[in-house]
Structure 1
Amino acid sequence: MLTFDTRTWERSERRVRGRLGDDLVVDSDAPLLVREAGSPYVRYAFPRGDVRTDLVPDGAVRAYEGDAELADHVSVRWSALDRWYEEDEELPVGPRDPYHRVDVLRSARHVRVEIGGRTVGESRSPLAVFETGLPAVFYLPPEDVDLELFEPTATRTGCPYKGFASYWTYRGGPGTPERTDVAWAYRDPLREVGPIAGHLAFYDSVADVLVDGVKRGG
């Protein structure tokens, strides 16, 4: 992802709301989208009058007193509230930068995944995911992965652009130890990347991911 050397912000025309239980804590049609120096993510800053700070848990509100341009705004930690919405669309993970793209393309590249020299997945119909500022990632159809070699774990992570990911651990094999959370998939991804649902990707720092015979990353 891209990072920025200084704090930048821009106005958004989207109405943003946040709820805690039955309470409407944030309701703003004049939010600012803020990018912090060195961070690949963005956050919303709201006019103070648009936030019920009395209902927000301690430590979940960030003020900008040191920044004259944002002095009348506050941000609320995303995880502090139960539900967030842009207009009437729920945002389960966090706000998205309008300049950040994620493109999912069908591909005919030959992708082979090896762990300890053992082929655990191989496909000629992967999905190639191109995301701003990141290397391409190839997602394999589940039928092209030997899932008997893996077991699901309780690990779960969130991405503002793709949704929540589930993980699998490689059980291990002759001369090869177990590899924890080496593969992941989005079982119910966000609408914009819907085609990747159920497809699996692998960390090329743990597995050997070869695309048309060329090893990636690592």
Structure 2
Amino acid sequence: MADEGVDHPGLIVPVGHVEPVPRRIRAQVGGRWVFDTRRARYVWEWPGYPQYSIPLRDLAEGVLTDDGRVGRLGPGPARRHSLRIGSEVREGAAWVWDEGAPAELIGTARFRWDALDAWYEEEEQVFVHPRSPYTRVDALRSSSRVRVEVDGTVLADAPSSVKLFETGLPTRYYVERTHVDWTLLRRSDTVTACPYKGRTSEYWSFARGPVVHEDLAWAYDFPTVSCAAVAGMVAFYNEYVDLYVDGVLLPRPTALSRAQWDKGQRAGS
């Protein structure tokens, strides 16, 4: 039975699930290609999103060195390897799956995302983590009125919105900037990225007296094509504001659910 306090579909992919990647996957370090493959595998180490596992035969020659350390990731055992390409060295950059891991993963390596400088699906750069084939993101124009308050202070009141629906996350409500009270917000230096929406262009915080609410709102001025409808609009974290949609106060999602989603990264914005 669905939790009545949750307004979005949950995650359904079990840890250890493996599927073929139908896209060309490449990555660079120091301007050099580490690998170029059309035979990658998706592997889920937790239900939120997959990682790529790259066939060893598609790596640049001699880039991995066994560190002599054996560990266990969600799907099974693996050996840690460091990466050397050109003058660049990245310690502990990859795990090569060992005996006892799913058969589809044997002979492949799972790279730590931030150990590589840039990842590409076909010709498009991908940020933060691979896009899950089981995640859907839809940005839909809506006539729903949205009002945002913090501690009784109205930060935004918009007659319409764009609702962004993303599998496993609360619905996000984007409003036009003209309906935000900018006298109450100050810009921060925070920048986050999302594999489905792109990089944020701005974040804003709200302060009243000694109480500071950091990074309550954000915008994507140049989102991905699939989320173009939110370009230049502003959204607020449902977790930290009072959000009224068509006059009805929405229950706040727990901050823990967001932390579980991105494991400490702000990918859920």
State the shift of 1:200 in Å. Answer: 1.1
> Structure 1's 87 and 205: CA in aligned 2 closer, same or farther, altered over 3 A?
closer
C-alpha distance in structure 2 between counterparts of 1:204 and 1:89, whole Å: 30
C-alpha distance in structure 1 between counterparts of 2:134 and 2:14, whole Å: 16
1:43 matched to 2:51? The reply is yes
Superimposed CA distance per residue, residues 63-121 of structure 1 (whole angstroms, 9 cap, x where no aligned partner): 22130411211011222222211112222333101221100000111110111111110
2:230 to 193, 196, 204: 196
Show structure 1 runs of 5+ residues with no match.
none
2:23 to 14, 22, 30: 14
C-alpha distance in structure 2 between counterparts of 1:217 and 1:205, whole Å: 9
2:97 alignment partner in structure 1: 64
Structure 1 counterpart of 2:205, one-letter code: T
State the shift of 1:134 in Å. Answer: 2.2
Show structure 2 runs of 5+ residues with no match.
1-9, 65-83, 253-269
2:75 alignment partner in structure 1: none
State the identity as a percent: 38
State the shift of 1:39 in Å. Answer: 3.4
C-alpha distance in structure 1 between counterparts of 2:188 and 2:238, whole Å: 19
C-alpha distance in structure 2 between counterparts of 1:68 and 1:179, whole Å: 45
1:125 alignment partner in structure 2: 160
Most deviating of 104-113 and 190-199: 190-199
Most deviating of 149-158 and 96-105: 149-158
C-alpha distance in structure 2 between counterparts of 1:217 and 1:156, whole Å: 27
Structure 1 counterpart of 2:97, one-letter code: Y
1:24 alignment partner in structure 2: 33
RMSD: 1.8
TM-score by length of 1: 0.91
1:215 matched to 2:249? The reply is yes
Superimposed CA distance per residue, residues 122-172 of structure 1 (whole angstroms, 9 cap, x where no aligned partner): 111210111112221111111111122111112222211112233210132
1:168 alignment partner in structure 2: 204
State the shift of 1:3 in Å. Answer: 4.8
In the alignment, is the contact (CA less than 8 A) between 2:16 and 2:102 conserved in 1?
A: no
2:240 to 181, 206, 210: 206
